Amino acid sequence: MSIGQSPTSFDVEIAAGTACALLVALAAAAHKPTGELPHDLAAALAAVGDGEGEVWLNLFGVPLDAGPPYSAERLLDALSAMDAVELRRQLLGRYAWSWCTLAGIDDLESASAGDRAAAGRLLAHSRYYGGHATASLGVLLTLDPAETQRRLVRAVECGSSSLLDLTASSELEAAELAAAETIAARSPLTSIEHLAAGYRYVPEPEAERVVLIPHLEPDVPLVLAQHRASRLIVYRARRDRSSEERLLALGRALADPKRVEILALVGRGVGRASDLVERTGLSRSTVHHHLAQLREAGLVALEGNARAYTYIPHRSAAGGTAELVAEVIGTEEDA
């Protein structure tokens, strides 16, 4: 669905459907213990060999290129029918401008075609694939393109039958409608921040459009990706929460001493995740988990784009918290 052009010179579109929701669900499944997954899905994910789940988050371009309807069935058809080298291009980020700049178009093209030396350079790159290149691509880049395609298709087949429930399509349709209503009532940048739970997008010269992609996976609050001339903002669709639910999210966010420490650091201007890792002594994944909880509670926001991302405090959160408590407990004494 195309919503129109913004005053900040990019179009905003919505691509809602089970195709991208399935890719996010596969990324989340990669982190789960094997015993929690159906046997066929666990085996298919093991054959892909990506314990980080990053592979699936780099394939959003496949359903976008195939076009609507963005269904899991259409995704599977597109993966099965496309040229195997082209699928590897999608997987390796040939159409993501930051990956092209970081890793080099020549190596991305050569590794897509099966060149082992180029693949080795990508795997050794400290920042490619978010620093997870070996963990994510160490198996697939040892394979030829056809075998890469076979394993990815098999995992999507298994995931489509076990990771999406019968309500997924209707929930995503509702999310699409909610996004359209939000964009119609607000400015594009404000709409993005509202829908993506506190992500403040800074427009990029490379991005002619922003594609908003809702999903249903609770463990993956936000994914930021690129495809061709589009910035992809993949966010967890949420229904409107009651005051009680919002207060509960706030309580969870503040219940952990390390989260409070991170909140205090962000309030003092320590906004880069790498700096927060250094200051707290926590792992990168743990810091990102805590930041997601703080963002979910409306205490911090993520601001930026591929050039730089910074966490900033919501200075108005204190007043909002008082109002929220008043809503829950009431402002008048019982007679």
Task: Kindly report the pTM of this predicted structure.
Answer: 0.89
Distance CA 121, CA 119 (A): 5
| Same structural domain, 135 and 190 | no
Last residue of a domain, one of 212, 236, 260: 236
Last residue of a domain, one of 203, 236, 269: 236
| Same structural domain, 200 and 135 | no
Please tell me the predicted confidence (pLDDT) of residue 334: 46
Please tell me the predicted confidence (pLDDT) of residue 239: 67
Domain, as residue range, for 226: 9-14+167-236
Q: Examine residue 116 and state whether it is found in any structural domain, yes or no.
A: yes
Q: Examine residue 297 and state whether it is found in any structural domain, yes or no.
A: yes
Nearest CA among 259, 257, 271, 256 for reference residue 313: 271
Q: Examine residue 4 and state whether it is found in any structural domain, yes or no.
A: no
| Same structural domain, 49 and 132 | yes
Q: Examine residue 1 and state whether it is found in any structural domain, yes or no.
A: no
| Same structural domain, 186 and 200 | yes
| Same structural domain, 193 and 304 | no
CATH code, 307: 1.10.10.10
Write out pLDDT tens, residues 188-235. 999 999 899 889 999 999 999 999 999 999 888 899 999 999 999 999
Ramachandran class of 330: left when φ > 0, alpha when ψ lies in -120 to 50, beta otherwise: left
Please tell me the predicted confidence (pLDDT) of residue 318: 63
How many independent structural domains does the chain possess? 3
Please tell me the predicted confidence (pLDDT) of residue 4: 45
Please tell me the predicted confidence (pLDDT) of residue 8: 52
Last residue of a domain, one of 110, 138, 162: 162
Please tell me the predicted confidence (pLDDT) of residue 120: 97
| Same structural domain, 47 and 129 | yes
| Same structural domain, 205 and 225 | yes
Residues of the chain with pLDDT under 70: 1-9, 239-241, 317-322, 324, 331-335
Please tell me the predicted confidence (pLDDT) of residue 7: 44
| Same structural domain, 53 and 142 | yes
| Same structural domain, 225 and 248 | no
Q: Examine residue 94 and state whether it is found in any structural domain, yes or no.
A: yes
Please tell me the predicted confidence (pLDDT) of residue 331: 56
Distance CA 96, CA 235 (A): 19
| Same structural domain, 158 and 171 | no
